[in-house]
Amino acid sequence: MNFTSDFNIVKEALETFTIEIDFPGNKVIRQTPLDRLIQELDLSSWIKKGGLEGQGLKDFLSAFLSYQTRLHHSGYLGHQCAAPHYAAALGSFVNNFTNNVPSIYEMGPASVALEVFLVNWMLEKVGWKPTPLTPQNCTAEEAYGGGVLVNGGSIANLTALIMARTQVAPEVWQEGNPDGLAILLPSESHYSLTKAAGILGIGKEAIHFVDVDGRGAVIPDSLPSIFRRVQEMGHLPIALVANACNTPVGIYDPLDEIADFCQGQKLWFHVDGAHGASALLSKTHRHKLKGVERADSLVWDAHKLLQVPSLCAALLVRNHKLLDQAMLVGDNASYLFHDKEQPGVDTLHRTIETTKPGLGERLFFVLGAIGEDGMADFIDRQYQLALDTYYYLQNLPDFECPVQPESNILCFQHTGTAIDSLFLRKKLLEAGEFYLTTTLFKGTRYLRLVFMSPNTELRHIEHLVSSIREIAAKI
Ligand SMILES: *Cc1c(COP(=O)(O)O)cnc(C)c1O
Beta bridge partners, 212, equal 218
**What pLDDT score was predicted for residue 20?**
78
The Cα–Cα gap between 21 and 63 comes to 16
**What pLDDT score was predicted for residue 330?**
60
The Cα–Cα gap between 72 and 85 comes to 9
Ligand 1 pocket, residue 270 CB under 6 Å: no
The Cα–Cα gap between 252 and 243 comes to 6
**Residue 190 CA, closest ligand 1 atom number:** 11
Query: 250 with 406: CB under 8 angstroms?
Result: yes
Q: Helix (H, G, I), strand (E, B), or coil: what is residue 233?
A: coil
Amino acid identity at 80: Q
User: In degrees rounded to 5, what are phi and psi of residue 91?
Assistant: -60, -45
The Cα–Cα gap between 154 and 151 comes to 8
What's the gap in Å between 156 CA and the centre of ligand 1?
9
Q: Which residue's CA is the nearest one to ligand 1's atom 3?
A: 153
Q: Tell whether pTM > 0.85.
A: yes
The Cα–Cα gap between 430 and 433 comes to 8
* H runs (alpha helix) in 290-358: 302-305, 320-324, 337-340
Query: 295 with 271: CB under 8 angstroms?
Result: yes
| Strands 399-400 and 409-414, sheet pairing | antiparallel
Nearest to residue 113, comparing CAs of 441, 375, 368, 372? Answer: 368
- Per the rule left: phi > 0, alpha: psi between -120 and 50, beta: everything else, 180 is left
Query: 283 with 255: CB under 8 angstroms?
Result: no
Q: Helix (H, G, I), strand (E, B), or coil: what is residue 239?
A: strand
Query: 91 with 362: CB under 8 angstroms?
Result: yes
pLDDT in 10s for each residue of the chain, 475 residues = 799 999 999 999 999 899 878 777 889 999 999 999 999 999 999 999 999 999 999 999 999 999 999 999 999 999 999 999 999 999 999 999 999 999 999 999 999 999 999 999 999 999 999 999 986 666 767 789 999 999 999 999 999 999 999 999 999 999 999 999 999 999 989 999 999 999 999 988 899 999 999 999 999 999 999 999 999 999 999 999 999 999 999 999 999 999 999 999 999 999 999 999 999 999 999 999 999 999 999 999 999 999 999 999 999 999 999 999 888 776 554 444 446 678 888 988 899 999 999 999 999 999 999 999 999 999 999 999 999 999 999 999 999 999 999 999 999 999 987 789 999 999 999 999 999 999 999 999 999 999 999 999 999 999 999 999 999 998 8
**What pLDDT score was predicted for residue 328?**
77
The Cα–Cα gap between 389 and 403 comes to 12
Query: 300 with 379: CB under 8 angstroms?
Result: no
Count helices and strands (H / E) in the chain. 17, 12
Among 159, 187, 192, name the best residue to mutate to test ligand 1's pocket (greatest count of ligand atoms within 8 A of Cβ).
192
Ligand 1 pocket, residue 274 CB under 6 Å: yes
User: In degrees rounded to 5, what are phi and psi of residue 199?
Assistant: -60, -40
Ligand 1 pocket, residue 153 CB under 6 Å: yes
* 194-to-123, 203, 383 alpha-carbon distances in Å: 26, 8, 28
User: In degrees rounded to 5, what are phi and psi of residue 239?
Assistant: -165, 155
**What pLDDT score was predicted for residue 334?**
47
**Residue 310 CA, closest ligand 1 atom number:** 7
Q: Which residue's CA is the nearest one to ligand 1's atom 12?
A: 274
CB neighbours (10 Å) of residue 316? 29
What's the gap in Å between 274 CA and the centre of ligand 1?
5
Q: Helix (H, G, I), strand (E, B), or coil: what is residue 466?
A: helix
